[in-house]
């Protein structure tokens, strides 16, 4: 039987980093800042604003910003790198 991994909880640490807790007990500290800084697209770069970045929610077991405006593959988050 294959177990589906989900995000159970996530906490903003600071400077665009989030501590993520997965359903299998694993946790990762993911630094989103390099991804955001390297993006040329304004709809992604706007999340360098800490106020906007902190407004993520967990929806369907994944991190989600502003109704799917920004979302990452769960596999990447589980690996700890974006």
pLDDT, mean of residues 48-66 = 97
Q: What pLDDT does residue 11 have?
A: 98
Gap between the Cα atoms of 81 and 42, Å rounded: 22
User: Residue 12: is its pLDDT beyond 90?
Assistant: yes
Would you kindly state where each structural domain of the chain is located, as residue ranges?
Answer: 7-79
pLDDT, mean of residues 14-35 = 98
Query: Which CATH number is correct for 7-79, 3.40.1280.10, 3.40.50.920, 3.30.2020.10, 3.40.50.1370?
Result: 3.30.2020.10
User: Residue 1: is its pLDDT beyond 80?
Assistant: no
DSSP-derived letter for residue 76 is: H
User: Residue 76: is its pLDDT beyond 80?
Assistant: yes
Q: What pLDDT does residue 3 have?
A: 77
Q: Are 62 and 71 in contact (CB under 8 A)?
A: yes
Q: What pLDDT does residue 2 have?
A: 64
Residues 6+ apart with CB under 8 A from 63: 7, 10, 18, 20, 56, 57, 71, 72, 77
């Amino acid at each position: 039987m294959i177990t589906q991994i989900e995000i159970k909880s996530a906490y903003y640490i600071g400077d665009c980093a989030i501590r993520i807790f997965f359903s299998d007990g694993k946790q990762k500290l993911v630094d989103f800042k390099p991804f955001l800084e390297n993006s040329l697209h304004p709809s992604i770069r706007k999340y360098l604003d800490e106020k906007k970045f902190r407004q993520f929610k967990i929806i369907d077991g994944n991190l989600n910003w502003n109704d799917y405006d920004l979302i990452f593959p769960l596999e990447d988050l589980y690996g700890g790198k974006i």
